[in-house]
Structure 1
């Protein structure tokens, strides 16, 4: 067996624990978590014997750590850690869609400037391998549209409103109790979380960094029980739909509640599930469906990125630019 690659892990919350649990189930992988950086050392951490620190430099300056996995909820700190790790010659995996979505120009620079790789499958579709698919399988095809449900939290809320006639606040509390929505759910319910993911997909689909100022974004907070009831009476559902398309050299991005019928591929995608439809000129439409929220689905996406790193994989956005041109 190869000498294990040593991992420095930032964050041990929901996703961090999910990644840790998934990695334990794959003892054949030549990689181990060597150090974990957390904000608080006083919290009880039961069931493992990991080394914890609250000093980021213990990970960033450790020459024995080959890979940094960044799974914190602080976008500003995450950006600092990722860039420092790449500068230190380490591979990096992240799940921070806010940091990546707001910093795509820097991300593009990192991809072009560093020999070490930066992967972030878990930042977009939870357990759906959409970034890898757009970057790999669809790399030599012209993508005309990407459309889908990109936020498991808001989809769970709308599903409960639909099935149980709950109002928004009750459905939100249920989503939070299940771990699908954050304590501060504003990014999820406002559509901003989905817009970050749409921005990342635009970068990989078109080789361009879109301006998020041009996005059309609407919250699900305005959806009422009456709206749900009216849609249901017509055999329809309300979903938070993210749409990305390129027309006349302009990238159009929208995230808003839509009333859809049974013939729509998103109609039967309920609870915390996500669905993403990719339309191409050559092979037509492809629909991906999977868990979009929760520790294990997101942790599994981080694990898949780790496997790709161990195999020497890196993103091919530069080739996408050439193909589109």
Structure 2
């Protein structure tokens, strides 16, 4: 039997707990959480035997820890922790799409400079392994477009507004109650969450990091009851669509609510589900659908990255062309 890899976990919120619960269901995996770093030690933590600390260096400087799993909501702190862990020879898994989306130029250098692997599937598609697919199956195909519902929180809110005739505020409160939206939902509903994810997909699909200033971004907060009525009258649904297109003049990126009809591949993708469509010149269009929000779906994506790390997998961003600041 393989010697179990020792994990240091940053964060024990929604995703951190989801990862912990998923890992417990796979006792055959040669990996175990040894330490957890959290902001507050005074919160009650019942039903587990984990060791908690609020000192990051207890994890980052521990030579016995092999893997760091970063699942916190502070992008600046996450970047510090990830870089320090890589420098200290530890493999890293992250779900922090803001940190990754804003730091892709540096992350490109990390992939080239550090032997330890750095994986971040959970930062993009929730339960959909889209980064892995682009880095593997689609790697040698000419991708022309990636289109998707990349934010489960926004999709859930818009679904409830249309199915229940709820106001935006009612739908948001319900999403927060069910763990699909954060207490501060601005990143999700503004479209920025999807923008960071689209940047990550652009990097893996085209080897480029488009400038966020060039993105066309519209918030779902701007969707009115009149917009919904108009869409319904035309048998359409309003969906939070993110689109990445590679054209002769470069890459274009847009994140905005769109009214889609029954023939659209995302028409029936409701509630907290995500969906991604990849269009290639070689094999045509491929569509994947899966849970995009919630503790267990995202935690399961982190677990899949752990399995890949244990198998020695690393990203092969072979289409790396140039980095656009």
TM-score clears 0.5: yes
Q: Find the counterpart in structure 1 of residue 107 from structure 2.
A: 107
Q: Deviations over 1:80-101 (max 9, x none)?
A: 0000000000000000000000
Say whether 1:243 aligns with 2:221: no
Q: Find the counterpart in structure 2 of residue 62 from structure 1.
A: 62
1-side partners of 2:230 and 2:320: how far apart?
A: 45
SS of equivalent to 1:145: strand
Q: Find the counterpart in structure 2 of residue 321 from structure 1.
A: 320
SS of equivalent to 1:137: coil
1-side partners of 2:250 and 2:3: how far apart?
A: 48
1-side partners of 2:159 and 2:263: how far apart?
A: 18
Cα displacement (A) at 1:321? 3.1
Matches within 5 A, 1:1-325: 1-317=1-317, 319-321=318-320
SS of equivalent to 1:19: helix
Q: Deviations over 1:265-313 (max 9, x none)?
A: 0100000000000000000000010000000000000000000000000
SS of equivalent to 1:266: coil
Cα displacement (A) at 1:210? 1.3
Number of positions where the alignment pairs a residue of Structure 1 with one of Structure 2: 321
Q: TM-score, normalised by structure 1?
A: 0.98
Is contact 2:34–2:50 with CA below 8 Å preserved after alignment? yes
Is contact 2:97–2:123 with CA below 8 Å preserved after alignment? yes
Q: Deviations over 1:236-284 (max 9, x none)?
A: 0111100001111411000011111000001000000000000000000
Cα displacement (A) at 1:19? 0.2
Cα displacement (A) at 1:50? 0.3
2-side partners of 1:231 and 1:17: how far apart?
A: 39
Is contact 1:94–1:120 with CA below 8 Å preserved after alignment? yes
SS of equivalent to 2:241: strand
Cα displacement (A) at 1:167? 1.0
Q: Deviations over 1:16-55 (max 9, x none)?
A: 0000000000000000000000000000000000000000
2-side partners of 1:93 and 1:249: how far apart?
A: 34
RMSD, matched Cα: 0.7
Is contact 2:275–2:290 with CA below 8 Å preserved after alignment? yes
Cα displacement (A) at 1:13? 0.3
1-side partners of 2:117 and 2:265: how far apart?
A: 34
Cα displacement (A) at 1:71? 0.2
Cα displacement (A) at 1:209? 1.3
Is contact 1:166–1:225 with CA below 8 Å preserved after alignment? no
Cα displacement (A) at 1:320? 2.3
Cα displacement (A) at 1:229? 1.4
Is contact 1:8–1:67 with CA below 8 Å preserved after alignment? yes
Cα displacement (A) at 1:233? 1.6
Q: Deviations over 1:119-162 (max 9, x none)?
A: 00000010000000001110010100000100000000000011
Structure 1 runs, 4 residues or longer, greater than 4 Å off: none
